Amino acid sequence: MKYICLLFFLVSSTFEINAQEILSPNKKIKVIVTSKKGSPDHSFGEVYFKVLYKSNLEYTELLPNSPMGIIRDDQKFTYNLKLTAESQVKMINQKYEMITGKRKLCTNAGSEKVFKYVNSNDKPIDIVFQVYNDGVVFRYEFPDRSESAVTIIDEHTTYVFASGTNRWMQEYTESYEDFFPFSDNGKSNNKKQEWGFPALFKLNNNPVWMLISEANISENNCAAKLNNSKNLNEYKVSYASPRDNFKQTGVKTTLPWNSQWHTLIIGGLSNVVESTLITDVSNPNELKETKWIKPGAVSWNYWAHNHGSKDYKIVADYVDLAAKMKWPYTLIDWEWDAMSNGGNIVDAAKYAKSKGIKPLMWYNSGTSWLDPTPVDRLLTKEKRSEEFKWLNKIGVYGIKVDFFAGDQQDMMKYFIDILKDAAKYRLMVNFHGATVPRGWARTYPNLMTTEAVYGAEWYNNKPVLTAKAAEHNSTIPFTRNIIGSMDYTPVTFSNTQYSHITSYAHELALSVVFESGFQHFADTPEAYNSLPAEPKEFLKNVPVSWDNTKLVDGYPGVFVIMARKKGKLWYLGGINGKEESQILKINFDFLEKGDFNLKIIKDGKNGTSFTVETKKIKRGDVLSVECLPRGGFSAVIEK
């Protein structure tokens, strides 16, 4: 018997030792960091972390022991780590303001603990954990100083889930333009088994959700992705692959160095949707003056014409549309350098100014694989300076930069350089054909929006969005749009290359359901001018930046009801993601006390008509709204 006990002791002693707990301020989320000893003297081994969530007075394990570690070209920090010290728990409590996003006033409040390790070559690494009421973040730090460069080539970090976990994930593409299909087995349609951020998980039968992404990427980082090729329930963090003219894998840097924050947003579905964790853990605003940064609605001529801005008269029509709809901006898209038929780009900017509209202009980032013009005007600091001075001179207020080449370190630096240089010339920025948001909107608030979504533009490219749009539209509020502004280019009623069959009320609701600092309304002047009075007035006044956001109800791919507040008004958007009629119930518990007037614009008798109703409501009321297949509703609430 004593031999059995001794064997049990030896086996167990090779696993969880040095177990340390970190709790969120409200004690609902618990992180446990442990070591698994693997060396002969049991002094070195592998570091793991697990995440637990308290519901119904008990902790439920969300992530079982999940491996940690990182690899440099000169050193490994994986199976050979020894804990040397750990900090006391430090409380984080900061408040900050956002110009774009879900909420104007944000709070960064959590618990931080630093674990100090050395590897078997006595080289140091720190792992920093911060635990919040709505999630967990961690990063790796190399505290040594070195003038010679090292390359961080890979991570050992792996997120482990129970078999059968529900997940909504996008197969990795450098443009991040694809669907987020539901799966309970983690199988991909391709052999690589690679997935992009963000990735949404529902923990089996528990009412707890987790959205995994990353934040606060600097010039000394590349973007990461997930890979579950070895085990369908284990998602390893991997770095951007090299591309043809950029052979580097990972990050080349001097020391000290830190990784991006690995982020896990955790809680009920409303906690996850309403979370600002991505910007909470990103660097504070670096711009000294920001009054010139103004979110707003934009008229956009590309979608309906499936072409650029060569035709001055079409550009002028969209200027007129913006003026009529009270939208502050118009976007002049590609081929503006070849504009004719009545004027050139300078004439177009002058015409916009005469109508009180601020023009934005498109640029190719300079990639070699696509050639819409103008191509190479932003690739160097000198070129950007010359171009941005000219934009100031002709009266342009922002740029849309398209066709970035991937997630490698040089692209991360390029994104940040554009934001910094644009800010010097008071230019707002929209990134298209780009990586997903990773917190830059806090650090550089002139970043208004980012594409990185399978948006309405795809009605020009393939017929697949026609049948899937409603389900997709009711999935991305729970995935892509959580991590930052999303340039979907919504609210289209007419058809472009391929038809769409979402109802008109569904389309109108997207102006509230989707958040974007520049909200590009993509349809034709004729489509907007022919709207009934109430939907037209709604589009004239709907904000694009918000004081607060609440998820009223919803489920990925099925339906969503979003409430957003601006000043004294609440705006509601609800969409049905199903192919059959559905009754959506609005619970008004998010309102303050008092009596309110509600004006709701919902599906009419068919998908191209509206019904408008007004009602008296108060906090605690529940209103049932019948939606057509792929239907929806919008509403304004005033006290």
Instruction: Write the pLDDT tens digit of every residue in 482-503.
Output: 999 999 999 999 998 999 999 9
CA distance 629 to 578: 6
pLDDT class for 57, splitting at 50, 70, 90?
Answer: confident
Say if residue 4's pLDDT is above 50.
Answer: no
C-beta separation of 110 from 25 below 8 A: yes
Same domain, 43 and 12: yes
Rounded (10°) angle between helices 381-394 and 345-354: 50
Structural domain contains residue 286: no
72 has which bridge partners?
152
389 is written with which tokens?
A: 């001075």
Structural domain contains residue 290: no
The 3-class SS string of 389-423 reads: HHHHHHCCCEEEEECCCCCCHHHHHHHHHHHHHHH
Same domain, 553 and 448: no
Rg of the Cα trace of the chain? 25
Instruction: Write the pLDDT tens digit of every residue in 407-452.
Output: 999 999 999 999 999 999 999 999 999 999 999 999 999 999 999 9
CATH at 335: 3.20.20.70
Percent of the chain's residues with pLDDT above 70: 96
Instruction: Write the pLDDT tens digit of every residue in 126-183.
Output: 999 999 999 999 999 999 999 899 999 999 999 999 999 999 999 999 999 999 999 9
C-beta separation of 156 from 71 below 8 A: yes
Long-range Cβ contacts of 527-535 (<8 Å, 24+ apart): 527/304, 527/492, 527/493, 527/494, 528/321, 528/325, 528/493, 529/321, 529/324, 531/493, 532/610, 532/612, 534/599, 534/601, 534/610, 534/612, 535/504, 535/508, 535/601, 535/610, 535/634
Same domain, 213 and 80: yes
66 has which bridge partners?
49
Closest CA to 575 of 557, 594, 589: 557
**CA angle, residues 318, 321, 327, in degrees to nearest 5:** 105
C-beta separation of 452 from 415 below 8 A: no
pTM: 0.96
Domain boundary among 417, 452, 487: 452
Same domain, 424 and 465: no
- Residue 599 CB-density burial (10 A; 0-12 exposed, 13-18 middle, 19+ buried): middle
Structural domain contains residue 288: no
CB neighbours of residue 206 within 10 Å: 13
Instruction: Write the pLDDT tens digit of every residue in 230-258.
Output: 999 999 999 999 988 788 889 999 999 99
Same domain, 108 and 239: yes
Closest CA to 467 of 437, 511, 501: 501
Structural domain contains residue 285: no
Task: For the chain, report the end-to-end CA distance as a whole number of angstroms.
Answer: 75
pLDDT class for 369, splitting at 50, 70, 90?
Answer: low
Rounded (10°) angle between helices 504-513 and 533-541: 20
Q: What is the DSSP letter of 3?
A: H
Q: Mean pLDDT in the chain?
A: 95
Instruction: Write the pLDDT tens digit of every residue in 376-416.
Output: 899 999 999 999 999 999 999 999 999 999 999 999 999 99
Confidence at residue 39, expressed as pLDDT on a 0 to 100 scale: 63
- Give the mean pLDDT of 342-362: 98
Same domain, 202 and 115: yes
Same domain, 432 and 390: yes
CATH at 38: 2.70.98.10
CB neighbours of residue 574 within 10 Å: 31
In which residue are the tokens 């909107």 written?
441
Long-range Cβ contacts of 55-61 (<8 Å, 24+ apart): 55/28, 55/206, 55/207, 55/208, 59/30, 60/203, 60/206, 60/208
Same domain, 460 and 430: no
CB neighbours of residue 50 within 10 Å: 18
CA distance 437 to 420: 16
Instruction: Write the pLDDT tens digit of every residue in 506-516.
Output: 999 999 999 99
pLDDT class for 41, splitting at 50, 70, 90?
Answer: low
Same domain, 466 and 426: no
Instruction: Write the pLDDT tens digit of every residue in 71-117.
Output: 999 999 999 999 999 999 999 999 999 999 999 999 999 999 999 99
Structural domain contains residue 216: yes
Number of domains in the chain: 3
The DSSP element (H or E) to which 323 belongs, if any, is helix 312-325
Same domain, 206 and 233: yes
C-beta separation of 586 from 539 below 8 A: no
CA distance 242 to 223: 12
Same domain, 101 and 191: yes
Closest CA to 486 of 478, 495, 494: 478
Domain boundary among 452, 471, 493: 452
User: Per the omega criterion (within 30 degrees of 0), is the bond before 198 cis?
Assistant: yes
C-beta separation of 170 from 195 below 8 A: yes
Structural domain contains residue 590: yes
520 has which bridge partners?
298
C-beta separation of 330 from 349 below 8 A: no
Structural domain contains residue 479: yes
Structural domain contains residue 363: yes
Q: Residue 484 belongs to what domain range?
A: 455-639
Same domain, 110 and 219: yes
Q: DSSP H helical segments within 184-264, as ranges?
A: none
Say if residue 475's pLDDT is above 90.
Answer: yes
Percent of the chain's residues with pLDDT above 90: 90
